[in-house]
Structure 1
Amino acid sequence: MSKVNASSFVTVRGQAISLETQTNSLISRYSTFAQTTSSEQTAKEKKLDTQIENALKKRQDIIDSLNDICNENPSISASKLSQLQRHKEILQEHWKSFQNIRSSIQQERNRLNLLFSVKNDIAQHNSNTNLNDEDEYIQDEARRIDQSHNVVDRLISQAWETRDHFTAQNNVLNNVNNKTLQVLQRIPGLNNLLGKINTRRKKNAVILASVITLCILFLFLTW
C-alpha cells in the first residue's frame, strides 16, 4: 500500500510540475499585456486569462490529491511532504502574480478609458464653447451696430433741432430789425438822436482808451 501511494504521489506530482511550468510560461506571456494595455480586452488576452485561471484551479485539485495521498500514508517521507509544501507555495505565488498582473492591466485600462473620456469631454466642451463664442460675437456685433445707429440717429435729430432753433432765432432777429426800422421810420428825429448817442459813445470810448494808455505809459516809465 505504501509503494502504491508513493507511486501515485510521484505520478500526481509529475502532473503538478508540468502544470507549474506551463503556468509560469502563460503568466510570462500574460505580463506583456500590462506593458501594452488596450482600452478594451482583446480576444487573445481574454483567452490567456482563462487558460491561466483554469491551470491554477487544476493545480489546486492536484495539490489536494497529493495532500490526500500524504494523509492516507502516515509513513510517507519528509521529503515528499516538503515537496508538497513547496508546490503549495508555488501555487500561491502564481495566484498572486496572476492577480497582480490582472489588477495592473485593469487599472491601466481604467486610466486609459478615463483619459479618453476626459479628452472627449474637453473636445465637446471646446466645440460648444466655440459655437457659443461665435454666437455671442455675432450678437455683440449686432448690438454695437444698433448702438451706432442709435447714436447717429440722435446726432441727426439734434442737428435738425439746432437748425430749427437757429432758424427760429433768425426769424426773431429779423422781426426785431423790421420792427426797429418801422419805429425809426415813424419817428424822424429818432435816427438823429441815436446817431448822436453812438457818436458820444465813440468819443467816450476814445477818451477812456487814451486815459488807460497814458496810465500804462506812466507806470512803465516810473517803474
Structure 2
Amino acid sequence: MSTGASFVTVRGQAISLETQTESLLSRYSTFAQTTSSEQTGQEKKLDGQLENILQKRQGVIDQLTQICKDNASVSASKLSQLQRHKETLQQHWHNFQNIRSSIQQERNRLNLLFSVKNDIAQHNNNTVDDADEYIQNETRRIDQSHSIVDRLISQAWETRDQFSGQNTVLHNANNRILSTLQRVPGINQVIGKIGTRRRKNALILASITTVCILILFFTW
C-alpha cells in the first residue's frame, strides 16, 4: 500500500505541475502575438519558469517510472497514467519550443523591418544631403561664372575707354599738325612737290617692272 500511496502522491505532483505548465504556456503564447524587438523582463521570466517546470516534471515522471519498476504487481491503469504523463510532457515541450520559435521569428522579422526602415531613412537623408551639396556647388559655380563675366565686361569697357582716349589723342595731334602746316608759309607747296615726286617715282618703277616682265615673257 505504501507503494501505491507513493505513486498517487507523486502523480498528484505531476498533475499539479501539468496544470501550472498549461497556465504558463497560455500566458507565454501572448508574446507570439505582441512581440517586441527586444525580449522584455516578463517574457524572459516566463521563458525561464516554463523551462524549469518542464525539467521538474521530467524528474517527477522519472520517479513514477522508478516506482513502477520497483513494484512488480503495478496495475495497468498506473502504467497507462504514467504513459499519458510522458506524452503530455512531450506535447508541452513541443508547444513551448514552438511558441519560443514563433516569438523569435517574429522578433527577427521586426528587427529586419526596423533595419530596412533605418537603411531607407539613411539613404533618403544621404540623398537629400547629396542634393543640397550639388545645389550648393552649382550655385557657387554660377556665382563664379557671373564674377568672370563681370570682370570681362569691366575689362571691355576699360579697353573701349582706352581706344576712345587714343582716338581723341590722334585727332588732336592731326589737328595740331594741320594747324602747324597752315601757319608755315610754303609748306603745302613742298609737301605737294614731295607727293608729285613720289608719284613719278612710282610710275617709273611700274614702267620698268612692266618692261622687264614683257622681255621675260617674249624671250622664254
Normalization by structure 2: what TM-score? 0.68
Q: What is the one-letter code of the residue matched to 2:104?
A: Q
User: 1:77-156 alignment to 2 at 5 Å?
Assistant: 77-156=75-154
Deviation at 1:27, TM superposition (A): 0.2
Q: What is the one-letter code of the residue matched to 1:148?
A: H
Q: What is the one-letter code of the residue matched to 1:77?
A: S
Q: Does 1:19 align with 2:17?
A: yes
Among residues 40, 64, 67, which one is paired with 1:66 in the alignment? 64
2-side partners of 1:156 and 1:8: how far apart? 114
Other-structure match for 2:184: none
Deviation at 1:35, TM superposition (A): 0.4
1-side partners of 2:75 and 2:26: how far apart? 34
Q: What is the one-letter code of the residue matched to 1:12?
A: V
Indicate the larger mover: 157-166 or 22-31.
157-166
Deviation at 1:72, TM superposition (A): 1.3
Deviation at 1:139, TM superposition (A): 2.7
Deviation at 1:46, TM superposition (A): 2.0
Deviation at 1:172, TM superposition (A): 7.7
Q: What is the one-letter code of the residue matched to 1:78?
A: A
Other-structure match for 1:46: 44
Q: What is the one-letter code of the residue matched to 2:41?
A: A
Q: What is the one-letter code of the residue matched to 2:40?
A: T
1-side partners of 2:139 and 2:172: how far apart? 49
Deviation at 1:136, TM superposition (A): 3.3
2-side partners of 1:179 and 1:43: how far apart? 111
Provide the secondary structure at the position in 1 that maps to 2:73: coil
Indicate the larger mover: 94-103 or 7-16.
7-16
Deviation at 1:131, TM superposition (A): 3.7
Q: What is the one-letter code of the residue matched to 1:147?
A: S
Indicate the larger mover: 61-70 or 32-41.
32-41
Structure 1 portions without partners, runs of 5+: 191-223
Other-structure match for 1:28: 26
Deviation at 1:168, TM superposition (A): 6.2
Other-structure match for 1:5: 3
Normalization by structure 1: what TM-score? 0.67
Structure 2 portions without partners, runs of 5+: 182-186, 193-220
Other-structure match for 1:214: none
